[in-house]
Chain A
Amino acid sequence: MAVTRFHAEIATAIGTGALGIAAVIGATELGLGWSESGPQPGYFPFYVGLILIAASLWNLASAFVKHRQATLDASNGAEAEEPFLDREKVQRLGGFLGAMLAFVVATLWLGIYIGAAGYIAYSAWRKGGYKLPLSLAIGLGFSVSLYVIFEVIFKIPLLKGPIENMLGIY
């Protein structure tokens, strides 16, 4: 599956527009007016939200205009619309994002150290083509250096999970 620039433009415009709508809705709970002591708390979020919605609509419209122009040109034999992501790129990005998402979920469940070690080991093993033991060593080495820098030197606790608890590392 490939994504065209047209799709991407539309998705982004809808996303930013949605943020604008959220801001407007959130602001209406706060008072939008201009009281004797200046703007009420919802004043700025409300109007900035409206501006955001308007600008997003503009982007949406111009995406459609460009798209129609491009389809016209294409039917006249000119070059087709540039693809935003071809199939190969979608796969690459999807794989990377998937691993990253798994890392975040693992971190929430098992803590940052185990999450990072697993994530790095997996990438080195599957994507980098390293042997499994070496990959694991790289992952563990990374987590140990994180531990030394953050917890030992700077005394900043990072997120820990059940395994550290079992091992008695705090």
Chain B
Amino acid sequence: MTKLTTALIAATAVMAAAPAMAQWEPNNRPVEFVVASGAGGGTDNFARTIQSVLSRDGIMDQSIVVLNKGGGSGAEAFLYAKQNKGDANKLIFGTNNVYLLPHVAKLAYTTDDLQPVAALALDEFLVWVKADSPYENITDLIEAAKAEPGQIVFGGSQSKDTDETLVALIEQTSGADFKYVPFNGGGEVGVQLAGGHVAANVNNPNENLGQWQAGAVRPLCVFAPERMAESEAISGDMGWQDIPTCKEAGLDIESYRMPRTVWVPADLPEEAVAYYRDALQKVSESEGWKDYLTRTSQSGAFLAGDELKAFIDENETSTVAVFKAEGWTGE
């Protein structure tokens, strides 16, 4: 880790100081967008939106091919990056799974096989319950779980992934004991909640939006430092801004958000990383991107260079602490 990381930090620092370097461009092969999720998943939409903005706004002239490699919770995509070390025509799209997966599963790659380019958005997490459930706020839910340990069912997407981590974090913070059941994806968990098969879930806004509009589920609180951006009324007269943060609702978790990140394989010339960073920055300022953020209720946040590095370090350390407490880190 150490050597490469220092080299990276040095490289980014140099580049930040001298942005007007010789213009690097990818060769005229198509650029591959390697997506660490199946077609139709959240990461897939993220990559395809960037693809559409890049080509529609003429930011990048190369043709772009999207490859879905969602196997093993996305590990397939990251292994692919490792196999294509130094290939400047491959961008890898993921979340925080890039650096979290190696902690919970025995995999043949490490985070050093990829280098981060940028994070473009932060997806929020909310606690949702069924519309007619007895829990009016997050404290009700936690008290109920304390009264009946291991009986209140939390649904989530995948195992030892962001959802289960968050549920574990809620348990560690509040002392309540929930039962976690993993399903295949956020959409499925949303329907399980609407059908009353689970008591609560921690879906991203986008994954439960349809059910909230229909009044089948309702949000309790959001794991963000401040309330979400203003929106039109979505269900009844409630919009996103009316949801309390979990901290103000009495659950002491300041922030839990999932970054949407873009990576390249390791060993790329720094000019190449800079080229993609600039292209992505242009995407993050475009109209098409703002549309996407509003539509999916994510918070825009362009992070690159040192800022991104710091974010990743912080996110990795705090999440691994949760893993350790749950005993997921293996031997």
Residues of chain A whose beta carbon lies under 8 Å from any beta carbon of chain B:
155-157, 170
Q: Are the CB atoms of A170 and B65 closer together than 8 Å?
A: no
Cα–Cα distance between A157 and B30 once the two chains are bound (Å): 9
Q: Are the CB atoms of A157 and B32 closer together than 8 Å?
A: yes
**Partner pick for A156 among B28, B29, B63, B65, CB 8 A cutoff:** B65
Q: Are the CB atoms of A157 and B65 closer together than 8 Å?
A: yes
Which residues does chain A contribute within 8 Å of B29, judged by CB atoms? 170
Cα–Cα distance between A75 and B246 once the two chains are bound (Å): 86
A160 to chain B: closest CB distance in Å? 10
Which residues does chain B contribute within 8 Å of A156, judged by CB atoms? 65
Q: Are the CB atoms of A155 and B63 closer together than 8 Å?
A: yes
Which residues does chain A contribute within 8 Å of B30, judged by CB atoms? 155, 157, 170
Q: Are the CB atoms of B32 and A170 closer together than 8 Å?
A: no
Cα–Cα distance between A80 and B228 once the two chains are bound (Å): 82
Which residues does chain A contribute within 8 Å of B32, judged by CB atoms? 157
Which residues does chain B contribute within 8 Å of A157, judged by CB atoms? 30, 32, 65
B167 to chain A: closest CB distance in Å? 14
**Quick one: which of B16-69 are within 8 Å of A by CB?**
28-30, 32, 63, 65
Q: Are the CB atoms of A155 and B65 closer together than 8 Å?
A: yes
Cα–Cα distance between A170 and B65 once the two chains are bound (Å): 12
The binding surface of chain A is classed by DSSP as: loop
How many residues of B sit at the interface, in one of the four size bands?
A: under 10
A73 to chain B: closest CB distance in Å? 52
Cα–Cα distance between A157 and B29 once the two chains are bound (Å): 10
**Quick one: which of B47-105 are within 8 Å of A by CB?**
63, 65
Which residues does chain A contribute within 8 Å of B63, judged by CB atoms? 155
- CB-defined A-B contacts under 8 Å, sample of 10: A155-B30, A155-B63, A155-B65, A156-B65, A157-B30, A157-B32, A157-B65, A170-B28, A170-B29, A170-B30
7 extra interchain contacts, Cβ-Cβ under 8 A, other than A156-B65, A157-B30, A157-B32? A155-B30, A155-B63, A155-B65, A157-B65, A170-B28, A170-B29, A170-B30
B148 to chain A: closest CB distance in Å? 16
Which residues does chain B contribute within 8 Å of A155, judged by CB atoms? 30, 63, 65
A113 to chain B: closest CB distance in Å? 15
A66 to chain B: closest CB distance in Å? 42
Which residues does chain A contribute within 8 Å of B65, judged by CB atoms? 155-157
B39 to chain A: closest CB distance in Å? 13
Cα–Cα distance between A157 and B34 once the two chains are bound (Å): 13
Which residues does chain A contribute within 8 Å of B28, judged by CB atoms? 170
**Nearest B residue to A160 by beta-carbon distance?**
B29
**Nearest A residue to B180 by beta-carbon distance?**
A37
Cα–Cα distance between A157 and B65 once the two chains are bound (Å): 8
Cα–Cα distance between A170 and B32 once the two chains are bound (Å): 12
**Nearest A residue to B159 by beta-carbon distance?**
A41
Cα–Cα distance between A170 and B27 once the two chains are bound (Å): 10
Cα–Cα distance between A25 and B177 once the two chains are bound (Å): 35
Cα–Cα distance between A170 and B28 once the two chains are bound (Å): 8
**Nearest A residue to B29 by beta-carbon distance?**
A170
A100 to chain B: closest CB distance in Å? 26
A143 to chain B: closest CB distance in Å? 19
**Nearest B residue to A170 by beta-carbon distance?**
B29
**Nearest A residue to B67 by beta-carbon distance?**
A157
Cα–Cα distance between A155 and B63 once the two chains are bound (Å): 9
5 A-B pairs with least C-beta separation: A170-B29, A155-B65, A157-B65, A170-B30, A157-B30
Cα–Cα distance between A156 and B65 once the two chains are bound (Å): 7
Cα–Cα distance between A156 and B32 once the two chains are bound (Å): 10
**Nearest B residue to A156 by beta-carbon distance?**
B65
**Quick one: which of B232-273 are within 8 Å of A by CB?**
none
B5 to chain A: closest CB distance in Å? 32
**Nearest A residue to B28 by beta-carbon distance?**
A170
A109 to chain B: closest CB distance in Å? 17
Which residues does chain B contribute within 8 Å of A170, judged by CB atoms? 28-30
B75 to chain A: closest CB distance in Å? 16
**Nearest B residue to A37 by beta-carbon distance?**
B179
Cα–Cα distance between A43 and B148 once the two chains are bound (Å): 29
Cα–Cα distance between A157 and B32 once the two chains are bound (Å): 9
B144 to chain A: closest CB distance in Å? 20
A120 to chain B: closest CB distance in Å? 26
Cα–Cα distance between A52 and B133 once the two chains are bound (Å): 47
B103 to chain A: closest CB distance in Å? 18
Cα–Cα distance between A157 and B67 once the two chains are bound (Å): 9
B38 to chain A: closest CB distance in Å? 16
**Nearest A residue to B64 by beta-carbon distance?**
A155
